[in-house]
Every structure is written in structure tokens, then in C-alpha cells.
């Protein structure tokens, strides 16, 4: 049986070639299908039936993608954008060192550390997934609240408070405004503050 390092070394050039042949980008799901088509077991439909197995394959894929991105940056050949919905090669752009220092890529640190693959338990995975869905839910509430206040991202707290005051004055029931709209405005401010 092959070690994880052998599997990674074998898969890395295959993934890179798949990225090159999909200049428009490719989703993680489609990359899984392509790897299965190339004969790499464990990337087919069955992987989606077991949460831990899916996590392991996802982690391996993203580990390799971040390694490829590091290699490409080091050689100044290309930039690899990594997103589950679209993984795409872009032209290399020289970054200033200040920009690199100010925004470390936490995901790359996570995926490049193979101990995260080995040590993550099913309980930890469930916790990560629950936190992810909670953040999505909070983001949706924020977006709904911004819509009620007729604002768009990025909106800071000062802008939010100013808009809240304007709309509260306009829709306050004591000033002839709509009680329902006033309640929505108050809900939005509560969510955003």
C-alpha cells in the first residue's frame, strides 16, 4: 500500500495538468470526477456518502493545490486561485512584500499541515462543519439586515447607524410612518450592531 507521500507525489502533476487543460477554471466537484476518470480511486461518487472519507479526499486535494500554488509563485509562473467552486490558474502578479506580510493565508497554513489530515477526528470535523454553517447563517442575516436598511457591503458601523437614524425618523409610527417597516429597521439594527 502506498504511503500518503507517494500518493501526493503521484497526484500532484496530474492535478496540475488538469488545471492547465481547464483554463476557464474547474470546481472541486468536477476535479474529483476528472481524477476518478483518470483512474484514481476514492474520488468518485462513493466518497460523498461518508463525511470523513470526503474530508480526507478534500484535504488531500487542497493540500496539493496549495503546494502547486507555492511552486507556481516561487517560479513566478502563475497564480492559482483556490475556491471549491472555481479553481483557476491566472497570470502571475508580483506582490509587494508588505501585502504578503499583512494578510497571511490561514487556509494555506491549515491545508499544508498534513497533521491536520491525520489528527482531525469525526467530532472535530462535525464541529468545523457546524461552525461553517453558523457563519453562513450569520452572513445571510447580515445581508438581509443591510437590505432592510438599503445598504450594501462594505458598510461600517458609522454608516449603518446614520442610515438607521434616517430610516427610523422616516418610518417612526409617531411621525406617520409604517409600524411594520419601523420594526424591520429596528431588527436590522439589532442584527448589525
- Other C-beta atoms within 10 Å of 183: how many? 12
Give the span between the Cα atoms of 174 and 191, in whole angstroms. 24
Each residue's pLDDT expressed in tens, for the chain with a length of 193 residues:
567 788 888 899 999 999 999 999 999 999 999 999 888 877 878 888 888 989 999 999 999 999 999 999 999 999 999 999 999 999 988 765 544 444 458 889 999 999 999 999 999 998 988 888 777 776 778 888 899 999 988 888 999 999 999 999 999 988 888 888 999 999 999 888 8
Q: What is the CATH number of domain 130-192?
A: 1.10.287.110
Overall pTM surpassing 0.85 (yes/no):
no
Element (H, E) at 98: helix 97-102
Give the span between the Cα atoms of 121 and 131, in whole angstroms. 15
Element (H, E) at 165: helix 157-171
Smallest CA-to-CA distance from 185 within 170, 164, 166, 169 is with 164
Amino acid at each position: 500500500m502506498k504511503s500518503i507521500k507517494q500518493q501526493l507525489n503521484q497526484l500532484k502533476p496530474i492535478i496540475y495538468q488538469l488545471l492547465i487543460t481547464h483554463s476557464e477554471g474547474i470546481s472541486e466537484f468536477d476535479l474529483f470526477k476528472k481524477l476518478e476518470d483518470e483512474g484514481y480511486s476514492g474520488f468518485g461518487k462513493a466518497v460523498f456518502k461518508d463525511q470523513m472519507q470526503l474530508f480526507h479526499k478534500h484535504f488531500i486535494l487542497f493540500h496539493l493545490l496549495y503546494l502547486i500554488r507555492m511552486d507556481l509563485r516561487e517560479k513566478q509562473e502563475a497564480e492559482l486561485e483556490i475556491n471549491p467552486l472555481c479553481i483557476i490558474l491566472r497570470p502571475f502578479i508580483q506582490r509587494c512584500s508588505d501585502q504578503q506580510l499583512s494578510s497571511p493565508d490561514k487556509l494555506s497554513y491549515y491545508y499544508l499541515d498534513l497533521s491536520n489530515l491525520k489528527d482531525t477526528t469525526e467530532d472535530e470535523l462535525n464541529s468545523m462543519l457546524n461552525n461553517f454553517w453558523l457563519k453562513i447563517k450569520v452572513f445571510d442575516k447580515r445581508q438581509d439586515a443591510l437590505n432592510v436598511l438599503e445598504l450594501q457591503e462594505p458598510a461600517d458601523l458609522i454608516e449603518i447607524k446614520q442610515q438607521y437614524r434616517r430610516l427610523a425618523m422616516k418610518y417612526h409610527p409617531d411621525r406617520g410612518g409604517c409600524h411594520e417597516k419601523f420594526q424591520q429597521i429596528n431588527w436590522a439594527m439589532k442584527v448589525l450592531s
